[in-house]
Structure 1
């Protein structure tokens, strides 16, 4: 018994290859010269402890300089973080709407684009875009820059004034940049090369969108002119739509879309997913519009209500018009009507009465039905109606402020033509719409052309398009267990 106990000591591992997961790291350290003794290992263990202690010391020293966090500061930053999460979640809505409204053989490609583009947008916007949009003036009113990346430091003044910490503000703005890039995906769906789309998204979110956004949201020339775009009908939605339209025109229509000059229906493969996507976007818009208040105050629920009423008006308008024109209510038009109503109120959600917001959405829902047909008549292939929703209704939503907008959160004075405000605001809104259209069309045409020249075109081959981009671009299928003759 005694002998057995003495002979059963712990066996030394003969080699690193025979070591267990727990024994391996220690054996590796002992094999390094200078780390064979217990004393050396003790000193090594002190390194992370010392670094941790130094970090705590720095944090404590920095925290000691800060005033006590007040309720307004916490509420404002918490609300914007929640709003940011809602806007980021809109990527799921865009992906489902686009995938559902397109054909089964391209579902993986569409989902991959929508998922990956947000990663690209955040990275490009973090690297340089945020600085171009909210940096210091280089050419006052037109161009801003503050170096690469951004400073996340929180100052005592910021806390005392209940301001937004830079990191939360960056996340919110980056989510908007991602939205602009995602809109492009719908317009070029089912025929654009994945890699070339990726490169264009980087250019859009790093340079084109931020520079344009600074004209209004960083006190640029449009802001000084008096232009109003509360949450981005023009800055986000029309910029994304114009960028996508240029790509769609350069790509040309999908095979089989136009026969003898007449547009052919190319139904989506999953309307349940598309409908769910529309509802996800509707919910996400409560971060998009109310979050643009940039504070948790009494106007946040007001903006949420105007947003809701516009979406409802858009759904009603599109449903009625599609029923009258086609004989039956069209689900795709109901979906686009909701989105059209949301885009139509995005610029004026803080400057419209509740009635004005509902009417703006109603008209947007009517416009989107006719706009889809109008684009088809021009020979432009927009698979999901993205330009009609985000471009045409983005322009409409911006002009609405000049038609029946008020200074709701100020002195309540009339801004719009139809409510006694005169032509001035309407003209300013028109100038803003034109500026964003011209800037985006010119810069995106150059970007698409350069990318196409460098990579041998931006459109997939005819064989890839016929087989589907899922196989040609990704080597996989969204529904491998199902076959469809209508693929």
Structure 2
């Protein structure tokens, strides 16, 4: 009987991990469509190339060394694949709690679920440096980011390791359920470092403080990308429950799905209203970023808020992201898709809101955890970007930027029949 219970629980939890991982993988398509819609037409093919290539690089680097750094389990072939069913069955045999125990799943499914998170963090960088960065410099950075920088801060948080042997974030009461800080703020920190060294796009900011708008080439595509991300986020947050095969876990999954959806809706509505009050128009790009901001905020803790509270948390993110995007432009930090505001600023907000509904989490611990993640990723990324700038350069020429990086980097255009946009 115990064996039958084991097989069923193992199958359910493993299958749930795989399905949620596939949903998160689909977020790669969402980032691709969102960014392709928000950049100018002459840069579309290159941004799509970056998104496909970074996903492939993320999967390979995490396979080779990233997972081992993050969880200390050795490389994939010597670690995860050795976790076979009989060994897990031996551990399970003496238990009497059946489905009520911890999760039991294939180690390979755990790797798959983890690796798509790495790609998400790297996708955030792609949009922020769009339209003026060299493709191969970006891909070189992706190797280091996904193989070392992200796994190191992941080891200090989800991996349970001490930060350079000095302190443990877990002991300080730090908690990040699905990665508002570990994934999203980390990606934004890497993006910010790159943007500061890269500089703004030519013509974005005028000499007298004026800010020139560079409209995206395809807002329907950006809207589709947002809905794909919204859908993929159910796997992002829902899968982080790590278990499905008992009543309490199934209920927790349902609440996480409900709260994730509620926060996105709250963020979208709040951003739309704020944009209308500030600009006198219903700004679609702010609406889209508002929904994403709500999703980022709730990612830090989607299991303990009530649905109404989750909606309010999302609304706070939707309001904040509008002001953050405006502030970034005033500071002349050129982020074509608003990634630093959505994932960085709102990722921090998400971390700071966790103690409001989760009494086991320390507010001080959240601040220390956020600072640890940001400082490590920002400084390490700044060093890597600086080395790349010195060795191979990170910015295309002024002429290539004017003509569009599609032709200089990829040799083709996404919209050849319509000319350059």
- 2:241 is aligned to 293
The answer on whether the counterparts of 1:263 and 1:376 sit within 8 Å (CA) in structure 2 is: yes
> How far is the alpha carbon of 1:249 from its aligned partner?
0.8
For the residue of structure 1 that corresponds to 2:327, the secondary structure is helix
Q: Which runs of 5+ in 1 are unaligned?
A: 1-65, 137-145, 407-413, 416-423
- The match for 1:262 among 203, 207, 210 is 210
Q: Does 1:120 align with 2:57?
A: yes
> How far is the alpha carbon of 1:218 from its aligned partner?
1.4
- 1:454 is aligned to 391
- The match for 1:355 among 305, 308, 312 is 308
Q: Does 1:405 align with 2:367?
A: no
| Partners of 1:441 and 1:450 in 2: CA distance | 14
For the residue of structure 1 that corresponds to 2:418, the secondary structure is coil
RMSD, aligned α-carbons: 1.5
TM-score, L = length of structure 1:
0.79
- 2:157 is aligned to 216
| Partners of 1:311 and 1:165 in 2: CA distance | 31
- Deviating 4+ runs (over 4 angstroms): 66-69
Change (3 A) 1:441 1:162: closer
> How far is the alpha carbon of 1:156 from its aligned partner?
2.8
For the residue of structure 1 that corresponds to 2:175, the secondary structure is coil
Number of aligned residue pairs: 394
| Partners of 1:203 and 1:447 in 2: CA distance | 8
- 2:224 is aligned to 276
Q: Deviations over 1:387-426 (max 9, x none)?
A: 0000000000010012x122xxxxxxx35xxxxxxxx711
Correspondence list, 1:277-426, <5 A: 277-296=225-244, 297-298=249-250, 299-402=252-355, 404-406=356-358, 414-415=359-360, 425-426=362-363
Q: Deviations over 1:185-227 (max 9, x none)?
A: 0110000100010010010000000110111111232122221
> How far is the alpha carbon of 1:355 from its aligned partner?
2.2
| Partners of 2:357 and 2:388 in 1: CA distance | 41
- Of 68-77 and 472-481, the range deviating more from structure 2: 68-77
> Larger RCO: Structure 1 or Structure 2 (Cα < 8 Å, ≥ 6 residues apart)?
2
The answer on whether the counterparts of 2:23 and 2:234 sit within 8 Å (CA) in structure 1 is: yes
Change (3 A) 1:162 1:230: closer
| Partners of 1:70 and 1:353 in 2: CA distance | 34
The answer on whether the counterparts of 2:103 and 2:242 sit within 8 Å (CA) in structure 1 is: no
The answer on whether the counterparts of 2:64 and 2:75 sit within 8 Å (CA) in structure 1 is: no
Structure with the greater alpha carbon radius of gyration: 1
Q: Does 1:228 align with 2:175?
A: yes
Correspondence list, 1:172-191, <5 A: 172-191=113-132
Q: Deviations over 1:52-95 (max 9, x none)?
A: xxxxxxxxxxxxxx955521111101011000000000000001
The answer on whether the counterparts of 1:399 and 1:430 sit within 8 Å (CA) in structure 2 is: yes
> How far is the alpha carbon of 1:155 from its aligned partner?
4.2
| Partners of 2:124 and 2:340 in 1: CA distance | 8
Q: Does 1:106 align with 2:78?
A: no
TM-score, L = length of structure 2:
0.91
